Amino acid sequence: MRIKSFHVERVSLADKDPNWRISGFAIPTNDACIFTLTAEDGTIGEGYAAAFAHLGATQSGTYEVLEKIGKLLAGKDAFAIEANMGLARRSIRQNNPAKGAVDCALHDLAARLMKIPLYQLHGGKTRAKVPLLRILSIKSPDQMRDKARELIDQGYRYLKLKVEGRPREDAERVRAVRNAVGDDIFISVDPNMGFRTKGAIEFARRVEDCSISMMEQPLIDTDIAGLEAVTRAVELPIEADETAASVEQVMDLVANRRVDAINLKIPRSGGILNIITMARMCDIAGLGCRLGANVGSRLLAAHALHVASALPNMDFACELAEFERLQNDPYEGIEVQDGELVVPDEIGTGVRRRK
Ligand SMILES: [Mg+2]
CATH of 121-353, one of 3.20.20.120, 3.40.50.2000, 3.10.20.740, 3.40.50.620: 3.20.20.120
User: Residues 307-328, buried b or exposed e (16+ Cβ, 10 A)?
Assistant: bbbbbeebebbbbbbbbbbbee
Instruction: Average pLDDT across each block of 10 residues of the chain; the chain has 355 residues. List them in order.
Output: 98 94 88 98 98 89 98 98 97 94 98 98 97 97 98 98 98 98 97 98 98 98 98 98 96 98 96 97 96 94 98 94 96 97 98 96
Torsion, CA 344, CA 346, CA 347, CA 353, rounded to 10:
-80
Distance 114 CA to ligand 1 centre (A): 35
Amino acid at 105: A
Distance 162 CA to ligand 1 centre (A): 8
Distance 316 CA to ligand 1 centre (A): 14
Q: Does domain 3-115 bear CATH number 3.40.50.300?
A: no
Distance 66 CA to ligand 1 centre (A): 25
Q: What is the structure's pLDDT at 54?
A: 79
Distance 286 CA to ligand 1 centre (A): 21
Q: What is the structure's pLDDT at 26?
A: 86
Pairwise CA distance, residues 249 & 252, whole Å:
5
Distance 55 CA to ligand 1 centre (A): 11
Domain definitions of the chain by residue range: 3-115, 121-353
Strands 331-332 and 352-353: antiparallel
Strands 186-190 and 214-216: parallel
Distance 167 CA to ligand 1 centre (A): 17
For every residue of 295-311, DSSP letters joined together read -S-HHHHHHHHHHHHH-
Q: What is the structure's pLDDT at 219?
A: 98
Distance 216 CA to ligand 1 centre (A): 6
Distance 348 CA to ligand 1 centre (A): 28
User: Residues 144-167, buried b or exposed e (16+ Cβ, 10 A)?
Assistant: bbebbeebbeeebbbbbbbbbbbb
Q: What is the structure's pLDDT at 55?
A: 80
